[in-house]
Homo-oligomer: A and B are copies of this chain.
Amino acid sequence: MVVIMRKDATARQVANLVSTVEGWGCSVHLVDQGEQYKVGVIGKEHPDIAARLTSLDGVDAALPGNHPFSLASREMQVRDTCIPLNGTAIGGDCLTVIAGPCSVESRSQMLEIAHAVAEAGATALRGGAFKPRTSPYSFQGLAEPGLELLAEAREATGLPVITEAMSADQVRLVANYADVVQIGTRNMQNFQLLHAAGEIGLPVLLKRGLMSTIDEWLLAAEYILSHQNWQVILCERGIRTFEPSTRNTTDINAVPVVKRLSHLPLIVDPSHSTGDWHYVSAVALAAVAAGADGVMVEVHTHPDQARSDGGQSLKPERFAELVRQLHQVAEAVGGRVPQSHAS
């Protein structure tokens, strides 16, 4: 339920609404939209709640949610959310290009790649220190020493750092080093982790589960938002289908669907959604043409020696060419978000 306050509502009326609603055992999320307040009312759903809410002073309308998510919805916030990040931003008019290796492997590897992607035009740096691996016998990441190397690479390049946390404990540890905490595809419905991510002050990049519907994904974002952390970046990274020629299937439809349903920024990860460097550039360009706010791409200076995902990593020179094309496509579509959802 989203309550829209009248433009001339007083602070007292807003406060009264909040205390009334909390008195019903519901929780409240207040959004200042400049001209007017919106209030997300979450909790008990009794039949006459809309009538009760609209009878309160200063209330303009009470809209039943069209979707199971509420805080993430366009109804709650019409304008796109824009998340500041080290002098740049994710969302709004910015084109985000996150790049780096799959795993942090060593100091020389990390610094070499960081400099290469910075030079090629990346706006942020990625790299995994904690690696979720299907097999217990695969390389599991460097852990905290990997985080230290990421922090060093940020110092060296000025690029903000994005890296994954796999548990509530790791969220707090990662927050000491990183600028954005990533929640991986296998953990999209790890609810403890979502709660922990909601309670830190950092932006969270939430990957879509490879088997999750868009509604489930936005509900996972809702877990984070409901802790008052509104800095959530969605990342489409491919879904699992019957097609065997690529590792996953990029759900390009998800780009305009999410842009219509939600105000949150959305990027696409073509490295994981294709699993093959031959297809990464084509799909990255498609993502921006479809209206995504950017891409996250794996880059490695020596893909054949990478400890994970070498086959889907671009070399720096090819990545530099991609960045040039991404800017051209972004310009061609006149901003990244075709405004069909505003129809």
Given contacts A136-B223, A239-B243, A243-B214, contact A253 B281 (CB under 8 A): no
Closest to A282 in B: B256
Contact yes or no, B211 A240, CB < 8 A: yes
Contact yes or no, B219 A285, CB < 8 A: no
Question: How far apart are the CA atoms of A259 and B285 in the complex, in Å?
Answer: 15
Check A128 for interface membership: any CB of B closer than 8 A.
Answer: no
Contact yes or no, A278 B340, CB < 8 A: yes
The 0/1 profile, CB within 8 Å of B marked 1, for residues 263-298 of chain A is 000000000011001111111011111110000000
Given contacts A211-B242, A242-B240, A332-B329, contact A282 B338 (CB under 8 A): yes
Question: How far apart are the CA atoms of A326 and B252 in the complex, in Å?
Answer: 17
The 0/1 profile, CB within 8 Å of B marked 1, for residues 168-207 of chain A is 1000000000000000001101111000000000000000
The 0/1 profile, CB within 8 Å of B marked 1, for residues 222-252 of chain A is 1100100000000000011111111001111
Closest to A65 in B: B137
Question: How far apart are the CA atoms of A42 and B136 in the complex, in Å?
Answer: 10
Check A255 for interface membership: any CB of B closer than 8 A.
Answer: yes
Contact yes or no, B214 A211, CB < 8 A: no
Question: How far apart are the CA atoms of A137 and B72 in the complex, in Å?
Answer: 13
For chain A, residues 37 to 88, give those with C-beta under 8 angstroms from any C-beta of chain B: 42-43, 68-69
Contact yes or no, B135 A279, CB < 8 A: no
Residues of B within 8 A of A240 (CB): 211, 242
Check A305 for interface membership: any CB of B closer than 8 A.
Answer: no
Residues of B within 8 A of A279 (CB): 253, 256-257, 260, 340
Contact yes or no, A213 B190, CB < 8 A: no
Contact yes or no, B329 A333, CB < 8 A: yes
Check A210 for interface membership: any CB of B closer than 8 A.
Answer: yes
Contact yes or no, B282 A340, CB < 8 A: yes
Question: How far apart are the CA atoms of A254 and B246 in the complex, in Å?
Answer: 9
Check A108 for interface membership: any CB of B closer than 8 A.
Answer: no
Contact of A68 among B135, B288, B289 (CB under 8 A): B135
The 0/1 profile, CB within 8 Å of B marked 1, for residues 303-340 of chain A is 00000000000000010000001001101111000101
Given contacts A132-B189, A191-B133, A278-B260, contact A249 B246 (CB under 8 A): no
Check A209 for interface membership: any CB of B closer than 8 A.
Answer: yes
Given contacts A190-B186, A246-B253, contact A286 B290 (CB under 8 A): yes
Closest to A214 in B: B245
Check A302 for interface membership: any CB of B closer than 8 A.
Answer: no
Contact of A43 among B69, B137, B210, B211 (CB under 8 A): B137
Instruction: Give the Cβ gap from A111 to chain B, nearest Cβ, in Å.
Output: 27
Instruction: Give the Cβ gap from A336 to chain B, nearest Cβ, in Å.
Output: 10
Given A136-B223, A329-B333, 7 extra CB contacts under 8 A: A136-B226, A209-B211, A240-B242, A242-B242, A256-B278, A256-B283, A282-B291
- Taking beta carbons and an 8 Å cutoff, which residues of A are in contact with B? 42-43, 68-69, 132-137, 166-168, 186-187, 189-192, 209-216, 219, 222-223, 226, 239-246, 249-257, 259-260, 273-274, 277-283, 285-291, 318, 325, 328-329, 331-334, 338, 340-341, 343
